[in-house]
Every structure is written in structure tokens, then in C-alpha cells.
Structure 1
Amino acid sequence: MTIMPDKPKISDAERQLFRDNLKDVRPLTVKHHYQAPQPKIKAVARQRLADDRQVLDDMFSDDFCSEDVETGEELLFSRAGLQTRLMRQLRRGQLSVRAELDLHGYTVLEARQAVTEFLRDSLRHGNRCVRIVHGKGFGSKQKLPVLKNKVNAWLQQRDEVLAFCSARPVDGGTGALYVLLKRL
């Protein structure tokens, strides 16, 4: 328990001195109180904006013009300005593959969704080089590489994809791609 000190005693002379000093003081009369205007905050539909961005990210155009490739044909794509040394390392399989997506058995719609999610997750986890196995098309009706052509077109539409090329034979050859992604 703490003991509070007593209030200091004020004498009658001190009280009178205080009153004498304040005898000419009058309270202010304020006719108008100023109130700062409240800032108008626009409502922002953040979730809708995020959803719209996500739709744009997820969209791949099947009308994208890229030449169809044959089953055994190699794919090679590089954005302007990419270092030659980096592209050479990618083609030789010298970059560490951090994640892989195998599209065997997928329909075109399933593959599109899988590629979208795979690229998003790879970027989020900081994976610089990934492999996508699209197959050679031997299982399709016309024995043509349907997913190979689609993946080729889809990847060229994605800004985060710097380059891609067919994998080395031990990693799937012309049925797989090494994909180089931007750093975030």
C-alpha cells in the first residue's frame, strides 16, 4: 500500500493574489467552431480488382499465332535481351530444375489450368528454372502433339516466361521443356 502525500496547503493570501492577477481575464466567446473536413475515401472493391487481375493472368489465348510443330521437332523461345550465356545453359540443362509439371493424360482445358497454377506457384516459391512435360503426342488420336503446340503458344504469352526450350533426351527430349522464369 502506498501512502499519498497530502495536498500542499494554499494560504488565503495566495488565493487572493491568484484572483487579483486574473481579474481582467474573460473567457473567449467562439461563434463558429472549425471542424476539419473529413477526407472522402472512395470504396475500392479490392477483391474484384484482384479477381480481374487473376482472370487476365490465367487467360491464355488459343488463337495465339504460333506455328504448329511436329512430334520430334525441338521448341526454342527467348525474349529479346536475354543473355546468350543463360540461354546456352538452359539448352544444355545446366540450370537446376526446381519444379516439374507432367501433363500426360490431361485434356487441353485441364492442361491450361495446370500450367497457370504451376507457373504462379513456381514464381511464388522463387523457382527460376522449371520443367513442363507435355508429351510427344503419340497418345492422341492423330498421333500429333496437341499439348506441345498449346504449351508452346501459352508460354509465349506469359510475361514471366523469359525463355524455354526442349529438354535434353534424359529429361524428356522433345516431349518436355525447360522453362526460365523471371525473378520476382
Structure 2
Amino acid sequence: MTQSARSDQDFQALMGDVTPLAGATNRADPGRRRRPPSEAQLARRESAQAETGQDSFLSDDFVDLLAPFDPIEYRRDGIQRGVLDRLRYGGYAAQARLHLLRRPLAECRRALPPFIQEAYAHDLRSVLIVHGRGREIDSPPNVLRSYLAKWLAQFDEVQAFVSAQQADGGLGATWVMLRKSERARAANRERQQKRRG
């Protein structure tokens, strides 16, 4: 007797008096007709879509996971390397902080856009996002860190971001440099004109 025939016999012996489910009660039956959603389900679905509509530009699709011990860094074209280095070494004070430690990914996705947009609206330039870092590539903090690197690059307000130094949270925190608002640019031009006389 072959190995596969013996395995089939063993399986049949184990299954003995087991009978298949009736077609009408089999929930996995692909031929089963689905009922239309109830009014309450439709209301919840609309509410969820309205709630997530504000941050729908942040994708929660597949992301390449970053290695747990690799720093992240990003800068838009035109941003000098020195600005990124100064940001990395804490040369700019943290004007605001967002703590995402131990929060679900969906909650982080909802919290990030208002934080970035409010910081930009208040003319803040450097903010620190604390997200944590796991030791395994697929640990929740590392998954969040990977998504954060993807999401931050999608904001027009973000000029650069880089992993923090150990004193500021290490690889579990990210410095973000925001671009100047139009109001801040106008104030800067005015100061420059006053200096020139």
C-alpha cells in the first residue's frame, strides 16, 4: 500500500460518521443568495465613508515594510542635504508632537492629516511624530513606521522627514519639516525688506 493510499484510509477512518452540512445552512456555500443590507447597515456604511472621506488620499494599500533597524529619510527636490542633516540631529526644536504609540493603524491614519494640516496652518516648521519601533519586520510599530514613511510623502505640506536621533526617540520617532505657509513667506519677505533699508 502506498503512502497516499494509507493517508486516505486514515482520513476516512477519522471522518467515520461525519455527514456534510445541508446546502441551506452551509454559510460558505457560494450558491447561497445574500440578503440586501438593512437600513442600519447602510447608515453605518455611510457614516464610515463620511468619517474616512477627509483622509481618503492616504492609502492603506500594500506597503513595503522597512527593516526595523533602518533609518528613514525623505526630502523633496530643492531641499538641501544640510537641512535634512540639521533636522536629523535635532537642530530645529520640536514645535509640536504627535504620539501614535500602541494605536491601531486606522486611528493613526485618521490622526495624521489633521495634525499636519493644523501644524501648517499655525506656521509650525518642525514637528516630531513618535510611533515606536519593533524588533521584527512585521511587528505593529514597524508596520506603522512603514506606512508613516509612505503617508508623509503624500502631503504637499511636508518638505522632508528623517528618523530621529536616540535622544529624541531614535528609530521610534520621525522628525518632519513642513514648508512655510504663504503667510510666513510674506512675513519673511517683509523682514528682509526692512533689513535692506
TM-score scaled by length of structure 1: 0.64
User: Which of 65, 81, 86 does residue 84 from structure 1 map onto?
Assistant: 81
* Count of aligned residue pairs for this structure pair: 131
User: Helix, strand or coil: the match of 1:145?
Assistant: helix
Structure 1 residue runs of 4+, over 6 Å off?
A: none
In structure 1, runs of 5+ residues without a counterpart are: 1-51
Inter-CA distance 125–139: structure 2 relative to 1 (3 Å threshold): farther
Structure 1 residue 143: Cα displacement? 6.4
CA distance in 1, matches of 2:151, 2:138: 22
In structure 2, runs of 5+ residues without a counterpart are: 1-49, 182-197
Identity %: 34
User: Helix, strand or coil: the match of 1:88?
Assistant: helix
Larger helix share, 1 or 2? 2
2:102 equivalent in structure 1: 105
1:133 equivalent in structure 2: 130
Per-residue CA deviations over 1:133-175 (Å, capped at 9, x if unaligned) read 1110359984661110111110011111100000010111001
Contact in 2 for aligned 1:161/1:180 (Cα 8 Å): yes
For the pair 1:60 / 2:58, whether they are aligned, the reply is yes
Amino acid at match of 1:99: A
Structure 1 residue 181: Cα displacement? 0.4
User: Helix, strand or coil: the match of 2:176?
Assistant: strand
1:94 equivalent in structure 2: 91
Structure 1 residue 62: Cα displacement? 2.2
User: Helix, strand or coil: the match of 2:91?
Assistant: coil
User: Which of 107, 116, 120 does residue 117 from structure 2 map onto?
Assistant: 120
CA distance in 2, matches of 1:63, 1:105: 20
CA distance in 1, matches of 2:141, 2:158: 25
Inter-CA distance 97–144: structure 2 relative to 1 (3 Å threshold): closer
Contact in 1 for aligned 2:65/2:143 (Cα 8 Å): no
User: Helix, strand or coil: the match of 2:98?
Assistant: strand
Structure 1 residue 83: Cα displacement? 1.7
Contact in 2 for aligned 1:64/1:153 (Cα 8 Å): no
Inter-CA distance 110–56: structure 2 relative to 1 (3 Å threshold): closer
CA distance in 2, matches of 1:79, 1:141: 28
Alignment of 1:1-184 (within 5 A): 55=53, 59-63=57-61, 67-137=64-134, 142=139, 145-184=142-181
Contact in 1 for aligned 2:58/2:154 (Cα 8 Å): yes
RMSD over aligned Cα atoms: 2.6
CA distance in 1, matches of 2:84, 2:172: 19
Structure 1 residue 84: Cα displacement? 2.2
Structure 1 residue 88: Cα displacement? 1.7
Amino acid at match of 1:123: Y
> Highest Rg: 1 or 2?
1
